[in-house]
Structure 1
Amino acid sequence: MEPRQPGNKKMPDFDQLNDRVIAESTSEPMIVIKTNLDPKDSTENNPYYHNGEVRNPKAFKAYFEE
């Protein structure tokens, strides 16, 4: 009996994917809290926003402004 190889044969190997970033986990636990002191605009003082260089600004604001 042949061993089964589940999955789609057309999918590239996970190590070959270059369209996403997978961050390493931190060694310490983190907590992020949104307060009323945070800026109303999610692009203000945001290290992930660089002079309008965002592929999808609507999705960016939706993610950070929840």
Structure 2
Amino acid sequence: MEPKEPGNKKVPDFDKLNDRIIAEMPSEPMIVIKTNLDPKNVMDQNPYYQSGEIKDPKEFKNYFEE
């Protein structure tokens, strides 16, 4: 009986990947605070928003709003 190996054979080994950066987990907790200096529109200056790539803008806004 052959051993079962899950995964795709075409995917490179994780240790051999060199085209991405994997950030370490922070050693301390973080606090994120919304201030009056933040833009009123969640799509302004948002690094997760690229024009035309959002399939459901209403859901996107709900996620980033309070």
TM-score by length of 1: 0.55
What is the identity, as a one-letter code, of the residue corresponding to 2:63?
Y
Per-residue deviation, 1:27 = 1.6
Count of aligned pairs: 44
Show structure 1 runs of 5+ residues with no match: 1-14, 16-23
Identity %: 59
Number of the residue aligned with 1:27: 25
Work out whether 1:50 is the aligned partner of 2:50.
yes
Superposition CA RMSD, Å: 2.2
- Match of 1:43, SS state, is coil
Show structure 2 runs of 5+ residues with no match: 1-6, 8-21
Number of the residue aligned with 1:39: 39
Higher relative contact order (CA 8 A, sep 6+): 1
- CA distance in 1 between partners of 2:38 and 2:23 (Å): 25
Number of the residue aligned with 2:3: none
